[in-house]
Structure 1
C-alpha cells in the first residue's frame, strides 16, 4: 500500500506540475461548453434532438471536455509507462501497484474534469440532478480515460495519439447525442452512448435510466480489462 500510495501521489504531482495540462483542465471545459452551445443554438432545427439546441450543445460540450481530458491523461499514462514501469518492476515494484497508481491518477483527473465541466454547464443551464449529472460525467470521463490507454498502447506518440483521440471523442460524442441519424445499432456501440443518455437525463429531468447505468458500468468494466492487457503489453513482461 505504501508503494501504491507513493506511486499515485508522484503521478498526480507530475501531472499538476505541468502548467499546460493543469491550465487545460481548468480552461478547456468552460470554453468548449460555450462554443458547443453557441454553435448548436445557431441551428434551431437539428434532426435527432429535442429541446433547446443551445442546452443540447452545452450538454454535448460538457461531456466532450470531460471525456477528452481524461482520455488525454490515459493516453499519456500509457505512453510514459512504456519501458519505465518495467524498469521499476525489475527494481522490486509490484506491477499491480504500478498500474493502480496510473489508474488512480487517471480517475482523479476524470473526477476533476467532470467537476469543472459540470460547473461550466451549470453557469447557464439549470441542472435537475447535480449528483447524478456528476456521476454520468465521471463515468464518461472514466470510459475515455481507459480508452486513452488503449490508444496509447496502439499509437505510442503523444502528439499523434492526441489528434486521434480528439477526433474519436468528438465523433463519438456526436453519435451518442443523436445529432447524426446513423442508426440505433451504430450509436449504441459508441463508448459515450450510455454516459450521454445518463447525463442528458440527469440534467434535463433528474432521472437515472437503469439500463444506461448498467450498460455504462459494463462498458467501463470491459475497457478496464482491455486496458490492463494493454498496460502489460506496453510495460513489458507478464502480470505480477
Structure 2
C-alpha cells in the first residue's frame, strides 16, 4: 500500500538522524528533571517538551522530503497518499518518542491520573506532527523553522493558561488535561482539553492537506528545454 510505503520512508529518514533525535529527547527530559520537585509543573513541562520534539522531527522530515515528493507524484503516487503516509509515519515516530516518558511518569509520579496523562500526551503527538509539517512547508530552512517552534513552546510556557491568547496556542489542551490529571480537578478541565485538542488536530490536518495540495498543483514537475538549433529530436 502506497500510504504505508511513504510512512516507512518517513521513519527511515528520521532513523538516519539518530543523534538529532537523541538531542530532541533531552529537552523534555531536562524539563522533567529540573521541575521534578513540583509534580504538576514537571508533567506539564514534559507535554510541551514532547510537543516541541515531535514538531521538530516533523519539520526535519518535511524539509528532507521537499525534493522527494515531486518524484513520488511522477511515479504514480497521489498527493493525498504522500501526505497521509508522511503524517502517519510522524505519528508513529511521535508515539515512540512519547512512550519512554509515559513509562517514567507512570512509575515516578504514581499519584497522577495516568489515563489522563496518556490522553494529553496523545494530543501532543497528534497536534505536533501536522504543526511541524506546516512550519516545514512555509519555512524552507530548518534553522528558521526550529526557532519558530521553540518560540511557540516558550510562549506556551510563559502565558497564563486562563488568558485568551493561551487558548489559541497549539498545546493548550495538554495543560488543561494535565491540570485534571495532576490536581484531580473536576471534569471541566478534561472536557475543555479534549475539545481543544480535537479541534486543533482536525483543523491542522485539514489545513496542511489543503496547503500541500495547493502547492503540488502549482509545481511544474516537467520542464522542457528549448530545442537547440541543429539538434534533431
The normalised TM-score by structure 1 is: 0.79
Work out whether residues 60 and 173 of structure 1, in 8 Å CA contact, stay in contact via their aligned partners in 2: no
- Once the two structures are superposed, the pairs formed by residues 9-88 of structure 1 within 5 Å of their partners are 9-24=8-23, 26-35=25-34, 37=35, 54-88=38-72
- Cα gap change, 1:207 to 1:141, in 2 (>3 Å): farther
Q: Does structure 1 residue 109 correspond to structure 2 residue 93?
A: yes
Distance 2:45 2:105 in 1: 9
Distance 2:154 2:103 in 1: 21
Out of 178, 181, 186, the residue aligned to residue 202 of structure 1 is 181
| Structure 1 unpaired stretches of 5+ | 42-53
Work out whether residues 6 and 85 of structure 2, in 8 Å CA contact, stay in contact via their aligned partners in 1: yes
* 1:166-218 alpha-carbon deviations (Å, 9 max, x no partner): 1211212332x64xxxx621221122112210123123328652232122101
Distance 1:147 1:127 in 2: 31
Q: Does structure 1 residue 212 correspond to structure 2 residue 211?
A: no
The structure with the larger Rg is 2
Work out whether residues 74 and 146 of structure 1, in 8 Å CA contact, stay in contact via their aligned partners in 2: yes
Match of 1:119 in 2: 103
Q: CA deviation at 1:10?
A: 2.1
The normalised TM-score by structure 2 is: 0.82
The 4+ residue runs of structure 1 with deviation greater than 6 A are: none
Q: Does structure 1 residue 146 correspond to structure 2 residue 130?
A: yes
| Structure 2 unpaired stretches of 5+ | 219-233
CA RMSD, aligned part only? 2.5
Work out whether residues 66 and 114 of structure 1, in 8 Å CA contact, stay in contact via their aligned partners in 2: yes
Out of 193, 207, 217, the residue aligned to residue 237 of structure 1 is 217
Query: Which deviates more from structure 2 when the two are superposed, residues 221-230 or residues 12-21?
Result: 12-21
Distance 1:111 1:127 in 2: 23
- Cα gap change, 1:26 to 1:83, in 2 (>3 Å): closer
Q: CA deviation at 1:137?
A: 1.1
- Cα gap change, 1:27 to 1:211, in 2 (>3 Å): closer
Distance 2:115 2:96 in 1: 14
Q: CA deviation at 1:147?
A: 1.4
Distance 1:233 1:64 in 2: 31
